[in-house]
Structure 1
């Protein structure tokens, strides 16, 4: 008689991967329906369904799934947001990131719907359009709450400790998007002024936040293409967060341009990804950037790549460290002219 094999498989990780699509769809559906707006206080599935006009039984299944994901608490058949969920996923929270997650999914949905096609036939003939200002304006708006949910404050506190910061007079936020990093850094200084540089449609978004934080007297915008257009000069500090990837093929030339825009002794700070373990870690970034890569855009930096390019561009010194962010660990490279 044939014996069963003497095996004891451990498949938790594989099952978790297979369930990944379900997890994503539960979250995105809850965001689409604004489920979390109704769960600031304890609610039954029936009451949520009545508010939303949804099917009571399927609403309960969705809520049970959110509880399984540790996004909501269920007790006595009533559901309520957990504290982190209330902060991140209630649409009226200043740190609401639901729009960001929905946009991230929308931007990657096409290529990720059939990864096998890309693997078999290669990336699309038409590369991604990085010049679509409307898309980047929407992206900037979606990222604003992420930035002011802690990262901007943390990076401002870190930059304020740079030797000489107290004497800085002018800073540039290169590819600054909504500009919350610049606003936070200027707020750490009694008199420094800031300039947020990005595409024209994006600077309109930044101007909304400048007005919201009453910084119009100290923070301005400059619209253009930072690769081909002048970026100004005489800066004591230039900050670039998660934007240099788009100039990776010409990184050294871009850093030379940044070098020229700084005053003698000025500081350039890059906040960017840095892949390790033969470009397989951090997992969050490898997976989050998969759509870009399968589209033929290998823009992720290797660990130390930006720092080495800073040295080639003529910076006198470079200090590098790893900083934790809500997304993943990132590299912070501080270069002095």
Structure 2
């Protein structure tokens, strides 16, 4: 998606510079962009990449493996080759490196749950016209309403959060003194897990709903740092435990309106020890709110799914933090569409050199 966004942006800029007449080809590409997502989603549903893992199959054998007729198999497989998801050598199909790493079930970085979540999002987005006219989200089940729904949602978010967690661990050098970390709305706990695995001085708490905490515990149990990571089931909009040195909000603020964001950040401030560090990870808008492409579109996603949610600029979040009492506030790009805002509680600058 990020590559497509860059290509659209580059094409539009180049055409504006070199052509006296507007060229509708970019509009055509935008209009048919869902072809790409549906091709990926159907290939994932058929488990093509799992069934081709470690193999190179001729068309007839591949069609049998994925249990569809040869004619649609050839079209679908060729489309996957064109998209860089498969490779074709001497008439045989095999996974690309990308698919082998991220689209094969049971591999550590399997992304298929997020793709399956995208199918549900496609259904929601079909009602965008209705939503923008009425300024009301669509009616849908809360993702944490029952155990199975919470599990599938958490697995999907785990897929998306794993690269972010790895990037954060590489980016931010925490001190080697004892650190108590609170991961608010921590989902699968992947950020806490990655940080605790790197820093033996960290003890972490993953705070989320009871059904999500059950899934997080499964991931925690697989970690060598499991003895230093706990779950805390509750409602973070009502209370947060206190006495922490670092509090993380990863993809939390976009689900809330401005006043609820500020209210939560005040709770974070009270949760932190003096000189404690808040780390906010989210899809941040430019200050004029007209880009980048993904955060602007994700704002519409929140319009569809939540009563008040949206995406915010780094400048907006910085102002909220300053008004609450945070200092040494910085905005930094992290990975892909994710940026972060960091701030220190109080005027002590002990943590300012971390970023």
Contact 2:138 2:304 in 1 (8 A): no
2:87 alignment counterpart:
73
Larger mean Cα displacement after TM superposition, 291-300 or 258-267? 291-300
265 and 303 in structure 1: CA distance in 2 versus 1, 3 angstrom threshold: closer
Deviation at 1:186, TM superposition (A): 1.4
User: Per-residue displacement from partner, 1:202-240 (whole Å, max 9, x unpaired)?
Assistant: 0111100110113331110100000113x2111111111
Deviation at 1:119, TM superposition (A): 4.0
- Alignment equivalent of 2:128, drawn from 98, 106, 115: 115
Secondary structure of 1:10's partner?
coil
Secondary structure of 1:167's partner?
coil
169 and 278 in structure 1: CA distance in 2 versus 1, 3 angstrom threshold: closer
Matches within 5 A, 1:22-37: 22-37=35-50
Contact 1:323 1:332 in 2 (8 A): no
Query: Structure 2: how far apart are the matches of 1:125 and 1:329?
Result: 26
Do residues 319 (structure 1) and 330 (structure 2) align? yes
Deviation at 1:130, TM superposition (A): 6.5
Deviation at 1:86, TM superposition (A): 1.2
User: Per-residue displacement from partner, 1:101-142 (whole Å, max 9, x unpaired)?
Assistant: 211331x23332243333445435758746635434321122
Query: Structure 2: how far apart are the matches of 1:128 and 1:312?
Result: 35
1:291 alignment counterpart:
301
Deviation at 1:32, TM superposition (A): 0.2
Query: Structure 2: how far apart are the matches of 1:141 and 1:318?
Result: 32
Matches within 5 A, 1:246-257: 246-248=255-257, 249-257=259-267
Do residues 226 (structure 1) and 236 (structure 2) align? yes
Query: Structure 2: how far apart are the matches of 1:303 and 1:318?
Result: 10
Query: Structure 2: how far apart are the matches of 1:253 and 1:122?
Result: 23
Query: Structure 2: how far apart are the matches of 1:202 and 1:60?
Result: 40
- Alignment equivalent of 1:54, drawn from 59, 65, 68: 68
1:273 alignment counterpart:
283
Secondary structure of 2:227's partner?
coil
Do residues 167 (structure 1) and 169 (structure 2) align? no
Q: TM-score, normalised by structure 2?
A: 0.83
Deviation at 1:200, TM superposition (A): 0.5
30 and 220 in structure 1: CA distance in 2 versus 1, 3 angstrom threshold: same
- Alignment equivalent of 2:164, drawn from 121, 144, 151: 151
Deviation at 1:277, TM superposition (A): 6.3
Contact 1:282 1:329 in 2 (8 A): no
131 and 304 in structure 1: CA distance in 2 versus 1, 3 angstrom threshold: farther
Q: TM-score, normalised by structure 1?
A: 0.87
1:303 alignment counterpart:
314
Query: Structure 1: how far apart are the matches of 2:254 and 2:160?
Result: 19
Q: Structure 1: state its 5+ residue gaps.
A: 1-6
User: Per-residue displacement from partner, 1:133-182 (whole Å, max 9, x unpaired)?
Assistant: 5434321122223333x3212212323x14xx222331111110000100
Secondary structure of 2:108's partner?
coil
Query: Structure 2: how far apart are the matches of 1:136 and 1:300?
Result: 23
2:193 alignment counterpart:
183
Do residues 11 (structure 1) and 24 (structure 2) align? yes
269 and 120 in structure 1: CA distance in 2 versus 1, 3 angstrom threshold: closer
The number of residue pairs the alignment matches comes to 324
1:4 alignment counterpart:
none
RMSD between aligned alpha carbons?
A: 2.4
User: Per-residue displacement from partner, 1:244-280 (whole Å, max 9, x unpaired)?
Assistant: 2234332222212111111111111111221126323
Query: Structure 2: how far apart are the matches of 1:246 and 1:288?
Result: 10
Query: Structure 1: how far apart are the matches of 2:315 and 2:150?
Result: 27
225 and 16 in structure 1: CA distance in 2 versus 1, 3 angstrom threshold: same
Q: Structure 2: state its 5+ residue gaps.
A: 1-19, 347-355
Larger mean Cα displacement after TM superposition, 194-203 or 207-216? 207-216
- Alignment equivalent of 2:215, drawn from 183, 197, 205: 205
1:194 alignment counterpart:
204
Query: Structure 1: how far apart are the matches of 2:262 and 2:40?
Result: 40
Query: Structure 2: how far apart are the matches of 1:136 and 1:299?
Result: 22
Deviation at 1:18, TM superposition (A): 2.6
